[in-house]
Chain A
């Protein structure tokens, strides 16, 4: 139980294009999802917190107009990297917090498998 999926698992795009990454909680509902970015040989850095039905909260230094987050349902959050550039190439990982009574622990983040973005 408590499975989180991401799609696509990898994507290569040209500089200047936009890329959408989906994060889904498959067998539980998640009021809150988190988006992380991880560069090679580094730790996970929180980018933003996404709450269903409201605007995302971005960490300091993360451009909200560049990294658009939409959390339209209790099982889906999307991250759109707009006008991507080579420096946006990274491993993007989402996680989801369980909702009370929805089949997953409410104090544990369940992580997706990540999406490798390469911008040429």
Chain B
């Protein structure tokens, strides 16, 4: 069941601003990284991925940055919209995925 006092980090941004969500990982052998978006009561939705031979990848309104030196991954969302409000998880692995703790993004209209 739910642990008392456990909460997700929350990022609140104004509609139209850019959002940056960060993720740290510990396994230096990881070679595949993914960002997922999860809306309340739904399964994770693939946003963008990146392999360890790259440090940046862009999609539609989203950019993922990978810094292998410090084992850090970030997701940038341009011109954030109310529909972007959700919990965002980073995940890494090749066959099996390990999920990060998640960040709740709240967009203020």
Bound-state CA distance A39–B8 (Å) is 12
Distance to closest chain B CB from A60 (angstroms): 13
Q: Is there contact, CB below 8 Å, between B1 and A87? A: yes
Q: Mark A31-44, 1 if CB is under 8 A from B, else 0.
A: 01010000111111
Size class of the contact patch on chain A: 20 to 34
The answer to the question of A111 belonging to the interface, with a C-beta cut-off of 8 Å to chain B, is yes
Q: Mark B25-48, 1 if CB is under 8 A from A, else 0.
A: 000000010101000011111100
Stretch in B11-19, B58-66, B67-75, B99-107 touching the partner: B99-107
Q: Is there contact, CB below 8 Å, between B89 and A44? A: yes
Bound-state CA distance A34–B96 (Å) is 8
Bound-state CA distance A111–B6 (Å) is 25
Binding site for B on A (CB under 8 A): 4, 6, 32, 34, 39-46, 49, 86-87, 89, 91, 93, 95, 97, 107-114, 116
